[in-house]
Amino acid sequence: MLQSLFPENASTIAGQVDALFFFMIAVSAFFGILIAVLVVVLSLRYRRRAGTADDVAGEAVHGSTALEVAWTGIPFAIAMVMFYWGASVYMTMSRPPDDAHEIFVVGKQWMWKLQHLEGRREINELHVPIGQPVKLTMTSEDVIHSFYVPAFRLKSDVVPGRYSTLWFEPTKVGTYHLFCAEYCGTEHSLMIGRVIVMEPNDFQAWLSEDPQAVAHGAAAAGSPRERGAGLFAEKGCVTCHKSESSAMGPKLAGIVGRERTFADGSTAVADLAYLRESILNPREKIVAGYEAVMPTFQGQIDEEGLLALIEYIRSLRGEESGDVEGSDG
Amino acid sequence: MDDARPAQRKLVNAMEPGASRTNYLNADYGLKSWLLTRDHKRIAILYLISITLMFLLGSFFAVLIRLELLTPHGDLVQGDTYNKLFTMHGIVMVFFFLVPSIPAVFGNFLLPLMIGARDLAFPRLNLLSWYVYVVGAAFTLWAVITGGVDTGWTFYTPYSTTASHTNVLTTAIGIFITGFSSILTGLNFIVTIHQMRAPGLTWFRLPLFVWAHYATSLIMILGTPVIAITIFLVGIERAFQLGIFDPALGGDPILFQHLFWFYSHPAVYIMILPSMGVVSEIITCFARKRIFGYEFIAVSSLAIALFGFLVWGHHMFTSTQSVYAALIFSVLSFAVAIPSAVKVFNWTATLYRGSISFEAPMLFALGFIGLFTIGGLTGLFLAALGLDVHVHDTYFVVAHFHYIMVGGALMGYLGAVHFWWPKMTGRMYSEWAARVSAVLVFVGFNLTFFPQFVLGYLGMPRRYHVYPDEFQVLNVMSTTGASILGVGYLVPLCYLIWSLWRGPIASANPWRAAGLEWKVASPPPTENFAQTPIVTEEAYSYPVREAEVV
């Protein structure tokens, strides 16, 4: 019976969420039952007895400052414990470990498209290894969706124009529900899928299967990095963003995670959102020392393409990282 | 005039066989005398009829939703139809029933009576507010009849501005217009409470119902303009492709959520605060005692109104808002729970050493305490960040807000209907039937919504037309409960209407309650008080039996 009242527990965070849940149930049950018992007992104890005139009044017990202080202060203190506990679990949820296995997720009406950086693509299914942190970088092609895996006790909205992240470490091999939790139209309740947690060896074998064998096929073959490299050449990015110091555009090698200084003196760390903005809306932030000459690529590259391009730029570290000059960013 | 209209004379006898005495119901006849009335009591009746019709419409949608969810496969209605059903259920119930319910009916009827005034400060504005409500409701009904709307009552962008192919604009106009009705009512109440209290009626002698309405009115005039602007922006983005919320046009969809919840969270307090006021009145009356901790209950209403404006971000813990914003909204959300807890403790303490009887209004009030307590406690679960991530947008949230808005606000409303019905109509209803309906509502409500907490923690997302088979048992329980709840709502409709013709005549004060409204006849005369009363006592001055504890 109990098993049917609680969802499966299949991630490292799930146990922490459940522990908080049980604590809150205990506290709530205590107060809920306390109130219920008091209401029932007082009502019966002080009910108007038969034969008593109905305008006989109760006794003059009209207030007690000590009681008011107590039942303001004690619930407040308990509430702060709940706040602290909830916040600490949330902080764990919002800080993915650096070594997490990253997967790109694009939501659209009404399907989930997922791509592993190694190249394998999936639709409405997510294969992940047990015992290894996994980080999802997610965006939407149309309206807001929400990636929800109850067995992991995790969800995050998937918002058009933004990148959101969700990380988890599976602890149990199995198949779990994947739901869209943000209402997104006609087939919202069919925008569902499965998360399949595998042994690491099985997962590696699965990853290296021929991508062509994946049932839904892949429009563009290869890993996001390879596809990004293709787009980088095809869209002519390489014409300006090259490593000579005379280049029209800033060098891109190693920029991810670095602080950039702009023409107006402001600064920002070059994260994924910054790269996305710089591709779609390049005039918004002009790196100091460069002209605002880059055209927009709005509408020319889909969300999966943007993620691929960004992944390619992120990969430009290696031999070129030494070339990045402080003045660039 | 009565001599000239023998047919209507007969009706008078039916409505008010207290015979010769004139009251607000028999003072004048004919449709015109109602549609052009400036009497706050008649306007309250106009609202009562309008919101009851909207409640029936909203309930009809709920019936279809619960029937659809009996089976996991989505076999009763299509997905699009289901989406329209839950959207229209929410819109009709929130904007056209719950928000106006107690303020527009009982606030209107009772505020002047409770403070010893002859009417509200602006009687014409009061009538206008009803017409504004009707025009807004007409737009919304038009949207329903011509195909409905499917955005959810929350209108989240960019779905509402770009993707939905339904009557978003018409509905938005309806809600925009209706908002002004709230603003006018709130303004009227605030001025009335400030300016028109009878001599001797100081702020801390006011009934807590008045305090609750004062706090509610503050939220109405400060919050409603924001939802009006937000809905307006949705409308112009949808109509003219101006980039406000749609990222493809350079807008920000999360901005919409901030604006929407800036109103819509405080709106929850618009719905619940008046019910809290009602419960304070009922409990003191049937315990024959002054309320315990009067000042704390009064001030907690204001605290709720204030803090209520600072917690909207707790609807957005999974929306990609910043972690630090989430922390602040979480701690403030825990803080806003405290004044509600203080009220519950004080109501409970009021029972201590009372002389308690259990007429129907008291049963509804005690039911309110139980259901509101569960609703409030489960609100803490949603304020706890790490836990909310799991249960956000699941049936846990659906259960929680129904405990507050139906278990709380609607129980309070039914309590008010039963408590003041004799005052409004001059008739008593069947006490026995009313007690049965109070029990049916309480049992049916819990059976409907308690299983949804479990469903939510199991992970069933809200707004799902088709769901995995393993959730069926709990959904069947929920639908069963809803059937009982439905009967619990229909029974009062029958015996209350029946009481208008056959109910025993009510005396001026059938419950032997304190309060100025019980010192005038039932139904009250049009001018309320022949002579302005002078107040010399605290609220709830039930005669004290023995002063052994002070």
Please tell me whether the overall predicted TM-score, pTM, comes out greater than 0.90 for this model. Answer: yes
Q: Are strands A145-149 and A154-158 parallel, antiparallel or unpaired?
A: antiparallel
| Beta carbons of B301 and B288 less than 8 angstroms apart | no
Checking A288-296 for CB contacts under 8 A at 24+ apart, the result is A288/A261, A288/A262, A288/A263, A288/A327, A289/A263, A289/A327, A289/A328, A290/A248, A290/A249, A290/A250, A290/A263, A291/A248, A292/A263, A293/A240, A293/A248, A294/A240, A294/A249
Quote the pLDDT of residue A233: 86
CB pairs under 8 A between A and B: 300
- Cβ-Cβ contacts under 8 Å, A9 against chain B: none
CB within 8 Å: B163 and A109: yes
The β-bridge partners of A157 are A146
B-chain residue closest to A88, CA distance? B386
A-chain residue closest to B329, CA distance? A83
Choose the mutation target among A24, A62, A80, A137 for the interface with B, i.e. most B CBs under 10 Å: A62
Tens digit of each residue's pLDDT, chain B (550 residues):
344 444 444 444 444 444 457 899 998 889 999 999 999 999 999 999 999 999 999 999 999 999 999 999 989 999 999 999 999 999 999 999 999 999 999 999 999 999 999 999 999 999 999 999 999 999 999 999 999 999 999 999 999 999 999 999 999 999 999 999 999 999 999 999 999 999 999 999 999 999 999 999 999 999 999 999 999 999 999 999 888 999 888 899 999 999 999 999 999 999 999 999 999 999 999 999 999 999 999 999 999 999 999 999 999 999 988 999 999 999 999 999 999 999 999 999 999 999 999 999 999 999 999 999 999 999 999 999 999 999 999 999 999 999 999 999 999 999 999 999 999 999 999 999 999 999 999 999 999 999 999 999 999 999 999 999 999 999 999 999 999 999 999 999 999 999 999 999 999 999 999 999 999 999 999 999 999 999 998 888 887 654 443 3
- Per-residue pLDDT tens digits for B93-115: 999 999 999 999 999 999 999 99
Q: Is residue B381 part of a domain?
A: yes
B318 in A contact zone (CB under 8 Å): yes
- Cβ-Cβ contacts under 8 Å, A110 against chain B: none
- Cβ-Cβ contacts under 8 Å, A162 against chain B: 247, 254, 320
Quote the pLDDT of residue B5: 42
B residues 130-159 closer than 8 Å to A (CB):
150, 152, 156, 158-159
A-chain residue closest to B513, CA distance? A55
User: What is the domain range of residue A73?
Assistant: 2-43+64-94
- Cβ-Cβ contacts under 8 Å, A167 against chain B: none
| Beta carbons of B388 and B471 less than 8 angstroms apart | no
In chain B, the N- to C-terminal Cα span, in Å, equals: 56
- Cβ-Cβ contacts under 8 Å, A187 against chain B: 79
Q: Is residue B134 part of a domain?
A: yes
Rounded CA-CA distance B71/B75 in Å is 7
Q: Which DSSP state fits B160?
A: I
CB within 8 Å: A189 and B317: no
CB within 8 Å: A47 and B544: no
A-chain residue closest to B473, CA distance? A4
- Residue A86: which of B330, B344, B357 has the nearest Cβ? B330
B6 in A contact zone (CB under 8 Å): no
A107 CA: distance to closest CA in chain B (Å): 14
B256 in A contact zone (CB under 8 Å): no
CATH number at residue A147: 2.60.40.420
Choose the mutation target among B387, B391, B477, B548 for the interface with A, i.e. most A CBs under 10 Å: B387
- Residue A142: which of B163, B357, B377 has the nearest Cβ? B163
Q: Is residue A37 part of a domain?
A: yes
Give how many domains chain B has, as a whole number: 1
Q: Is residue A137 part of a domain?
A: yes
A146 CA: distance to closest CA in chain B (Å): 8
Count of Cβ atoms closer than 10 Å to residue B6 Cβ? 8
Q: Is residue B271 part of a domain?
A: yes
Quote the pLDDT of residue A320: 46
Q: If you write DSSP's letter for every residue of B275-331 in order, what string do you get?
A: HHHHHHHHHHHHHTSPPTTHHHHHHHHHHHHHHGGG-GGGG-TTTT--HHHHHHHHH
Question: Which of A213, A243, A264 is where one domain is finished?
Answer: A213
Could you give the ipTM of this predicted complex?
Answer: 0.91
Q: HSE on the CB side for B342, CA within 13 Å?
A: 28
- Cβ-Cβ contacts under 8 Å, A75 against chain B: 337-338, 341
Q: Is residue A219 part of a domain?
A: no
B164 in A contact zone (CB under 8 Å): yes
Q: If you compute the radius of gyration of chain A from its CA atoms, what whole number of angstroms results?
A: 28
Q: Is residue B378 part of a domain?
A: yes
Quote the pLDDT of residue A257: 85
Count of Cβ atoms closer than 10 Å to residue B487 Cβ? 14
Which residue, among B361, B367, B368, B357, has the nearest Cα to B282 in the 3D structure? Answer: B361
Rounded CA-CA distance B272/B409 in Å is 5
CATH number at residue A292: 1.10.760.10
Q: How does B40-62 read in b/e, with b if 16+ C-beta sit within 10 Å?
A: bbbbbbbbbebbbebbebbbebb
User: What is the domain range of residue B412?
Assistant: 42-519
Q: Is residue B9 part of a domain?
A: no
Rounded CA-CA distance A238/B345 in Å is 69
Give how many domains chain A has, as a whole number: 3
CB within 8 Å: A24 and B384: yes
- Cβ-Cβ contacts under 8 Å, A74 against chain B: none
Q: Is residue A246 part of a domain?
A: yes
A-chain residue closest to B381, CA distance? A24
Rounded CA-CA distance A79/B340 in Å is 13
CB within 8 Å: B369 and A35: yes
- Residue B342: which of A21, A71, A162 has the nearest Cβ? A71
φ, ψ of residue A35 to 5 degrees: the values are: -65, -45
Choose the mutation target among B389, B392, B467 for the interface with A, i.e. most A CBs under 10 Å: B389
Rounded CA-CA distance A124/B442 in Å is 42
Tens digit of each residue's pLDDT, chain A (329 residues):
455 778 999 999 999 999 999 999 999 999 999 999 999 999 999 998 877 776 677 777 778 899 999 999 999 999 999 999 999 999 999 999 999 999 999 999 999 999 998 888 999 999 999 999 999 999 999 999 999 999 999 999 999 999 999 999 999 999 999 999 999 999 999 999 999 999 999 999 998 876 554 444 444 457 888 888 888 888 888 888 877 667 788 888 888 888 888 888 898 888 888 999 889 888 888 888 888 888 888 888 889 999 999 988 888 875 444 444 433 33
A25 CA: distance to closest CA in chain B (Å): 9
Q: Is residue B549 part of a domain?
A: no
CATH number at residue B364: 1.20.210.10
Q: Which DSSP state fits A262?
A: B
Do A191 and A279 fall into the same domain?
A: no
Tell the residue number behind the tokens 């922006």, with chain if given.
B233
Residue B481 neighbours by CB under 8 Å, 6+ apart: B443, B444, B445, B446, B447, B448, B449, B451
CB within 8 Å: B547 and A61: no
Question: Which of A213, A242, A267 is where one domain is finished?
Answer: A213
Quote the pLDDT of residue A324: 43
B467 in A contact zone (CB under 8 Å): yes
Q: Is residue A193 part of a domain?
A: yes
Choose the mutation target among B82, B157, B159, B398 for the interface with A, i.e. most A CBs under 10 Å: B159
Q: CA angle, corner A10, sides to A20 and A213, nearest 5?
A: 150
The β-bridge partners of B43 are none
Quote the pLDDT of residue A58: 72
The three-state secondary structure class of A308 is helix
- Cβ-Cβ contacts under 8 Å, A157 against chain B: 318-320
- Cβ-Cβ contacts under 8 Å, B546 against chain A: 59-60
| Beta carbons of A149 and A155 less than 8 angstroms apart | yes
Do A173 and A233 fall into the same domain?
A: no
Q: If you write DSSP's letter for every residue of A78-90 in order, what string do you get?
A: HHHHHHHHHHHHH
CB within 8 Å: A46 and B356: yes
Show the tokens assigned to B274. 């008046």
Count of Cβ atoms closer than 10 Å to residue B507 Cβ? 15
